[in-house]
Amino acid sequence: MRGKSMTNWMKRTGGVVAFGLIAVAAVWFAWPQPIPVDLATVAKGPMEVTVDDEAKTQVRHLYTVSAPIAGKVLRISPPRHVGDQVTKDQTVVAVMQPTTPSFHDVRTHEELLAALGAAEAAVTFAEAEVKRLEAALAYSRTELDRAEKLAKTGAISQGTLDKARFEGDTNEAALASAKAQVEVRRNEQAMIQAQLGQPAGDVAQSDPACCIQLRAPVSGRILKIVQDSEGMVQPSAPLVEIGDPLDLQVVADLLSTDAVQIRPGAAVRIDGWGGTALQGKVTRVDPAGFLKISALGIEEQRVRTEIDFVDPPEKWSQLGHDYRVIVHVTSWRDDDVLTVPVAALFRTGDDWAVYLAKAGQARTTVVKIGHRDNRMAEVESGLSAGDRVVLHPSDRVGDEVAIRERSTH
């Protein structure tokens, strides 16, 4: 009987222990576990706010050779290529042939023939008038000689002598006018004859009367050939662009909201071009903006900003005209400022806040933020150096929620 009682007692004791263990396990698993989070330390140090955007390189002084007349652009020998060296007033960069006169129809041809006949008749009439006036002038000179001799003997009056002189001067002037009229009529005849001429065929480029040679306006290199093949162009049409690749700058079209924060002389970091980062400085911010459509179809007000290289040409000599780069323009900088990662910030009403890690719990803390960029923000109040804040807080993190730092291993 005693053995049986012992057995029952052991069974009861084992059941109680098992129940207790189950209860402890249930409480353990039901108890809220600390949420693993990433933490960052608020610290003092230098901070820089930059305006980041795409930009492109550009030759500072770009010269465009344009067509001075309407005509045909010819191929030159040897042919010119992008990158060729040119010398001011010596290198021929383009050759143009003036526009060939067009053919005229039968009616126009007949009208021109009639006009040519009238012009020939006008020349004949003018030449006859010259002969008449030459005869009149010769007669008036003879009469003048006779009148002068008679005036010496007193046979005629002074008025008769003056009249003879007047007749001579008048006929001499009329003869000069008639000779000028002959030249006018002959030029009119030549103009009509030229209009009757048919268009000529191609003329060799070596003929000076054939073509116009356009020479480089400045020494440098050919950056762009707009008109590569033979073809007709209108006056002022661009043909070739010339510039000095070593006279290079960077041009960025920045948002107007960013441009107002930038001043000439601001430091610039230039990268994204395939080489090491370069240093530059802002030289000009245009006072006027312009409308630009973004790749997403959004209308944006942009401002042209010019940037010079600070580094020597040896570091950026591989860059050329119209190359793509990324610019980081400094709009604000401080060497000793309290900063917090932007990833720790969230909104509480109209205020910024962070979850401050304190005694194993997350404590909602309102902070006042000053300058910021896409990584760090300046803390004006609410935090101190050495504070630990939660990065990227999830919806599971809240005020006074237990947290623990996530293991980095």
Q: What is the pTM of this model?
A: 0.63
Supply the pLDDT for residue 295. Answer: 82
**CB atoms < 10 A from the CB of 401, how many?**
19
Per-residue pLDDT averaged across 118-135, rounded? 89
Supply the pLDDT for residue 12. Answer: 63
**pLDDT tens digits, residue range 36-89?**
999 999 999 999 999 999 999 999 999 999 998 888 888 877 788 898 999 999
**pLDDT tens digits, residue range 5-24?**
666 655 566 566 666 666 55
**pLDDT tens digits, residue range 359-376?**
889 999 999 999 998 899
Round to whole Å and give the CA distance between 163 and 168: 9
Provide CB contacts within 8 A for 305, sequence distance 6+.
251, 252, 253, 254, 259, 262, 282, 284, 285, 286, 329
Counting residues of the chain whose pLDDT is more than 70, the rounded percentage is 87
Supply the pLDDT for residue 59. Answer: 94
Hey, which of 125-129, 130-134, 161-165, 305-309 has the most confident mean pLDDT?
305-309
Confidence of residue 312 (pLDDT cuts 50, 70, 90): very high
> Domain 68-100+203-243 maps to which CATH number in 3.50.50.60, 2.60.120.10, 3.40.50.1970, 2.40.50.100?
2.40.50.100
Round to whole Å and give the CA distance between 32 and 7: 40
Q: Which of 20-29, 139-148, 286-295, 347-356 has the lowest mean pLDDT?
A: 20-29
**CB atoms < 10 A from the CB of 115, how many?**
16
Higher pLDDT, 279 or 31: 279
Supply the pLDDT for residue 398. Answer: 87
Residue pair 123/186 in contact by the 8 Å Cβ criterion: yes
Supply the pLDDT for residue 345. Answer: 95
Higher pLDDT, 24 or 34: 34
The one-letter amino acid code at 171 reads N
Confidence of residue 291 (pLDDT cuts 50, 70, 90): very high
> Is 106's pLDDT higher than 60?
yes
64, β-bridge pairs:
241
- N- to C-terminal Cα separation, the chain: 61
Supply the pLDDT for residue 16. Answer: 61
CATH no. of 35-48+336-405: 2.40.420.20
Residue pair 45/340 in contact by the 8 Å Cβ criterion: no
Provide CB contacts within 8 A for 253, sequence distance 6+.
53, 55, 292, 302, 303, 304, 305
Q: 244: number of CA atoms within 13 Å, CB side?
A: 10
Residue pair 222/240 in contact by the 8 Å Cβ criterion: yes
Q: Which of 107-116, 118-127, 217-226 has the lowest mean pLDDT?
A: 107-116
Q: What are the tokens at 301?
A: 């007000």
Supply the pLDDT for residue 136. Answer: 86
Supply the pLDDT for residue 112. Answer: 80
Mean pLDDT of the chain: 86
Can you give the length of the chain in residues?
Answer: 409
Starting at the earlier edge strand, list the strands of the sheet with 220-225. 63-66, 238-243, 220-225, 85-86
**pLDDT tens digits, residue range 208-221?**
456 888 999 999 99
Q: Which of 64-68, 167-171, 311-315, 390-394 has the lowest mean pLDDT?
A: 167-171
Cis-peptide into 245, omega within 30 deg: no
Residue pair 362/20 in contact by the 8 Å Cβ criterion: no
* CATH level 2 (architecture), domain 51-59+245-333: Beta Barrel (2.40)
Find tokens 């048919």 and name the residue.
198
Per-residue pLDDT averaged across 143-167, rounded? 82
Q: 155 exposed, middle or buried (CB, 10 Å; 0-12, 13-18, 19+)?
A: exposed
Residue pair 94/233 in contact by the 8 Å Cβ criterion: no
SS3 272: coil
Confidence of residue 114 (pLDDT cuts 50, 70, 90): confident
> Is 3's pLDDT higher than 60?
no
Counting residues of the chain whose pLDDT is more than 90, the rounded percentage is 47
**CB atoms < 10 A from the CB of 29, how many?**
8
SS3 387: coil
Higher pLDDT, 8 or 184: 184
Residue pair 378/46 in contact by the 8 Å Cβ criterion: no
